[in-house]
Amino acid sequence: MTEQKNGPALAELLQRNRRWADSMVAKDPNFFKNLEAQTSPEYLWIGCSDSRVPANELLGMAPGDVFVHRNIANVVVHSDLNCLSVLQFAVDVLKVKHIIIVGHYGCKGVHAAMTGTRIGLVDNWLRHVQDVGQKHERYLGDVLTSRQRGDRLCELNVVEQVLNVCQTTVVQDAWERGQELSVHGWVYGLKDGLLNDLEVTVTAGHELAPRMATRLARYEAIA
């Protein structure tokens, strides 16, 4: 019964795929030939799994231009071999020049972590975001509304993930051998479609501490 109910919906997805493929060829007969040859994107996007935040589309880039890793609440932890494998492949094999950690305002994962809402197994994953909130609790004061606190935690979470990425052996080794590589922190706005650069770009190991201090000092001023 379930297969019959879902069948037409899945068939429609396949039909949409065919229409999309036809439209791409109509616009550019070499589209898929060029896509097949594209193997070296310059950007690694580490973002949230939220379906409202599609990396290529909001950057205005074609398939093949961005290497993408996504998980709930765009978390990077040193025990996640999946994320670290993507990072290592992107840096060592693809030779990406930019790693961009992208959160988004209104993130349901961040909100659940902030409010202590129980969801299930994912609660264990979101514990990482709760740790960020506890670490930077001073910047999430009572003067902020609930929405403002959520937005602030989304930003702090991105800042913390920039720190985590920069501290990985993959990135540290790349910098030590002189590889051109920079790490950035952005937050996407669902309400307007715009990316907010948190200005925590790091291009070498010695820049990490001052970049973090400068960014957090801004929150200190408006806490």
Question: 25-34, pLDDT tens digit by residue?
Answer: 999 999 998 8
- Residue 92 is assigned to a ligand binding site: no
Averaged pLDDT for residues 17-30: 93
Residue-level pLDDT at 141: 80
Closest by CA to 184, choosing from 127, 126, 102, is 102
Q: How far apart are CA 182 and CA 162, in angstroms?
A: 10
- Residue 50 is assigned to a ligand binding site: yes
In this predicted structure, the answer to whether residue 221 has a pLDDT above a threshold of 90 is: no
Averaged pLDDT for residues 173-196: 97
- What does DSSP say about strands 66-71 and 43-48: parallel, antiparallel, or unpaired? parallel
pLDDT band per the 50, 70, 90 thresholds, residue 8: confident
Top-confidence residue, 25 or 2: 25
Averaged pLDDT for residues 78-95: 97
Averaged pLDDT for residues 135-164: 93
Model-level pTM greater than 0.95?
no
Check if the beta carbon of residue 125 is closer than 8 Å to that of residue 110: no
Q: State the average pLDDT for the chain.
A: 93
In this predicted structure, the answer to whether residue 223 has a pLDDT above a threshold of 60 is: no
Residue-level pLDDT at 2: 46
Residues classed as catalytic: 48, 50, 52, 104, 107
In this predicted structure, the answer to whether residue 222 has a pLDDT above a threshold of 80 is: no
pLDDT band per the 50, 70, 90 thresholds, residue 143: confident
